[in-house]
Amino acid sequence: MTSRRRALTMAVALAALAAVPLAAAALNQPFYLDLFRRIMIFAIAAVSLDIILGYGGMVSLGHAAYLGIGAYAVAIPALHGLHSAWLQWPLAMALSGLAALVIGAVSLRTSGVYFIMITLAFAQMLYYVGISIEPWGGDDGMRLPGRSRLGGPLDLGDPHVFYYVVLAILAVLLLAGERVIHARFGTVIRAVKSNEARLQAIGVASFRYKLAVFVLAGAVCGLAGALLANQTEYLTPSYMHWTRSGDIMVMVILGGMGTLAGPVLGAAAFLLLENVLSAWTVHWQAILGPLLVLVVLYARGGLWSLVPGGGARDG
């Protein structure tokens, strides 16, 4: 599909998300505001994973580690009375980017199953660190002393303001992602997935680009973690648990790998299904599982490929 049509589809999707608070108010269902804010936060995490997974071909099963680091970067300063988002959110991105730098420097030297296992191991390590630090909530987690403060009229305590802040971050991420994917940098990242040996043969030192995109994705997911802590007003090491990494990966695959809109759609589908199905049964994943199998078997491009005007990858 042309980039023009893709941009149009993206604009329609963002406009629809922007209209959710109005619909929620009209239906007198404020719960949907909360649900869609959660969807967008996970969409940010899923897009960040897809940039390394779908575009770069790096199957990281430890992406939730950055979600957790981002959440801790909000909660720990808040414990000490530091509530400014302008401190907490950059800190979340810097710390998770740093963690990604260390994890990537080690794990990107491997590939295939080894890469999956090492990223998983690093994330689980951080999870157990989180469990063991009692002053920061330990196993049980802890309540967030207060939401991040952006200053001025942007009070995250107001559910609508918080909603539109998250939407703005998601929109900026999608626009910037679209640029980066097609710039020189993104071209190299896509080439890593396509044929890394060839990329090196023509003279590209691919490792440094892989590490750079790994750090970038980690930092963006850290920001999603900062938002998630504000969303739940709770800090728990379970944000870093490997099943959470799996959830994010399912969102990416369900929605469509190697596209920017796919993971957003995937996050929406995943969390809406969770919401609807878990009202019937606690075993809702028994229904999600077969659905995922069907998508993988019959819609290789994910749900996004079934959307009219959606479809093709950003090749």
Partner 1 sequence: MAEPLLAVRGLRKHFGGLVATDGVDLEVAEGETLAVIGPNGAGKTTLIGQLSGDLRPDAGTIRFAGADVTALPAFARSHRGLARSFQITSIFREFSTLDNVALAVQAHAGHSFRFWRPARAEAALREPARAVLEQVGLGGRGDVAAGTLAHGEQRQLEIAMALATRPRLLLLDEPVAGMGLDESVRMVQLLRALRGGHTLVLVEHDMDVVFALADRISVMVYGRVIATGSPEAIRANPEVRRAYLGEEVSA
**Which of residues 25, 105, 172, 205 is near partner 1 by CB under 8 A?**
205
Between residues 57 and 141, which has the closer beta carbon with respect to partner 1? Answer: 57
| Residue 37, both tokens | 């804010």
- Which residue shows structure tokens 């750090």? 215
Q: Is 135 in the site for partner 1 (CB under 8 A)?
A: no
Between residues 83 and 193, which has the closer beta carbon with respect to partner 1? Answer: 193
**Which of residues 110, 187, 278, 281 is near partner 1 by CB under 8 A?**
187
Q: Is 203 in the site for partner 1 (CB under 8 A)?
A: yes
Q: How far is the CB of 91 from partner 1 (least distance, A)?
A: 23
Distances (CA, A) of 107 to 80, 121, 202: 34, 10, 24
**Which of residues 15, 26, 113, 201 is near partner 1 by CB under 8 A?**
201
Establish how many alpha carbons lie within 13 A of residue 207's alpha carbon, considering only the half-sphere containing its beta carbon.
Answer: 9
Between residues 247 and 314, which has the closer beta carbon with respect to partner 1? Answer: 314
Residues in 207-226 at the binding interface with partner 1, rule: CB under 8 A:
209, 212
| Contact residues for 248 (Cβ-Cβ < 8 A; gap 6+) | 42, 45, 46, 49, 63, 64, 67
Under 8 Å between Cβ of 9 and 261 = yes
Burial class of residue 255 (count of CB atoms within 10 Å of its CB; 0-12, 13-18, 19+): buried
Helix, strand, or coil here: 282? Answer: coil
Q: How far is the CB of 176 from partner 1 (least distance, A)?
A: 8
Cα 180 from Cα 2, distance rounded (Å)? 17
Residues in 266-295 at the binding interface with partner 1, rule: CB under 8 A:
none
**Which of residues 109, 143, 182, 300 is near partner 1 by CB under 8 A?**
182
Between residues 112 and 203, which has the closer beta carbon with respect to partner 1? Answer: 203
Q: Is 198 in the site for partner 1 (CB under 8 A)?
A: yes
Cα 278 from Cα 39, distance rounded (Å)? 16
Burial class of residue 2 (count of CB atoms within 10 Å of its CB; 0-12, 13-18, 19+): exposed
Q: Is 303 in the site for partner 1 (CB under 8 A)?
A: no
Distances (CA, A) of 84 to 68, 146, 228: 19, 10, 16
**Which of residues 113, 197, 282, 297 is near partner 1 by CB under 8 A?**
197
Bridge partner list, 149:
84
Q: Is 188 in the site for partner 1 (CB under 8 A)?
A: yes
**Which of residues 150, 204, 287, 292 is near partner 1 by CB under 8 A?**
204
Dihedral (Cα; 244, 250, 251, 252), 10-degree rounding: 120
Between residues 41 and 257, which has the closer beta carbon with respect to partner 1? Answer: 257
**Which of residues 136, 185, 234, 284 is near partner 1 by CB under 8 A?**
185
Between residues 189 and 288, which has the closer beta carbon with respect to partner 1? Answer: 189
Between residues 26 and 197, which has the closer beta carbon with respect to partner 1? Answer: 197
Q: Is 190 in the site for partner 1 (CB under 8 A)?
A: yes
DSSP 8-state secondary structure symbol assigned to residue 84: B
Q: Is 300 in the site for partner 1 (CB under 8 A)?
A: no
Between residues 3 and 110, which has the closer beta carbon with respect to partner 1? Answer: 3
Cα 277 from Cα 43, distance rounded (Å)? 20
Rule CB under 8 A: which residues touch partner 1? Answer: 179-180, 182-188, 190-191, 194-195, 197-206, 209, 212, 313, 315
